[in-house]
Amino acid sequence: MKVSKSAGTSAKPLTPGGKSPAPGLRERKQQQTRERLKRAAMALFLEHGFEATTIDDIAAGADISRRSFFHYFASKEDVVAAWQEDAAAALVTEILARPAEESMLTAAENAIAAAVKRFDPAEAAAMSRLKRDNPALHARDQLKYEKLERALAEGLARRARNKSDQLQARLVAMISTGAMRVGGESWLNEGTCDKREAFVKRTFDAIRAILK
């Protein structure tokens, strides 16, 4: 896969206050271009379909060259994967923001409910249908849940107070990821009329009823 230097994940030196320094101008421009590509691709996928949309279309929509596209993504599928990775990152952020007194299951529920609010419901529903109806995207979508489970387990483990909580973190992550999968499919099949955060609550209520 071809990636630009900006796509690397090497750690940056921390400032005296313990925080990563603000990104430089070049990095900010690269981040902006990446976001522009993602937005252009999503709009085209939803309007014309995944198969009918070409890389040239996406590059033109983001006002860059085809060659520049490959500095950020190796394929159209990778653009969709980037959208999914954003969801995992948002989930970890929300988990770490939950109050320490919340149980792991409650923290997972509240974090998922908060994370889903970050995404436009119409876009999320359209993307879900797009992935469901495209075999290649559907296969990659299953990998999304593995990444989400790892991200959720990582976030929960970072909240853990002792080593014995590590197993609990993994189990709660597994249960919560399954809830996201089943809940998301149910939300889509039922016409997406309910708010997604309400559907999250219904799903976790069902989990607690089973665990009693």
Pair of tokens at residue 6: 């900006």
pLDDT tens, 26-61?
888 888 999 899 889 988 988 888 889 999 999 999
| Block residue for tokens 């009329």 | 193
**Do 12 and 21 contact (CB within 8 A), yes or no?**
yes
Residues 69 and 82 placed together within one structural domain of the fold: no
Across residues 192-199, what is the average pLDDT? 70
Q: Are residues 138 and 203 in the same domain?
A: yes
What local confidence, expressed as pLDDT, does residue 68 receive? 94
Query: For 17, what's the count of Cα atoms within 13 Å in the CB-facing half-sphere?
Result: 4
CB atoms within 10 A of CB 184: 19
The mean per-residue pLDDT over the stretch 79-95 comes to 79
Residue 187 has pLDDT above 80, yes or no: no
| 50 and 103 inside one domain | no
The CA–CA distances, whole Å, from 209 to 15, 182, 199 equal: 47, 16, 15
CA torsion angle 138 143 149 150 (round to 10) = -160
Co-location of 83 and 136 in the same domain: yes
CATH code (residue 136): 1.10.357.10
Give the C-alpha separation, 116 to 129, whole Å.
17
Tally the domains of the chain: 2
Same domain, 57 and 112: no
Q: 156: burial class by Cβ within 10 Å (0-12, 13-18, 19+)?
A: buried
Same domain, 134 and 177: yes
Residue 31 contacts residue 104 (beta carbons within 8 Å): no
Range of the domain at 108: 76-211
Q: What CATH number does residue 52 fall under?
A: 1.10.10.60
Q: What is the pTM of this model?
A: 0.67
Whether 195 is in a domain gets the answer yes
Residue 12 included in any domain: no
CA distances from 99 to 95, 110, 182 (A): 9, 10, 26
Select from 46, 37, 194 the least CA-distant residue to 126: 46
Q: Are residues 69 and 151 in the same domain?
A: no
pLDDT of 106 above 80: yes
Asked, for residue 6, whether it belongs to a domain, the answer is no
Q: Are residues 49 and 100 located together in one domain of the fold?
A: no
- Domain match, 67 and 87 both: no
* 129 and 169 inside one domain: yes
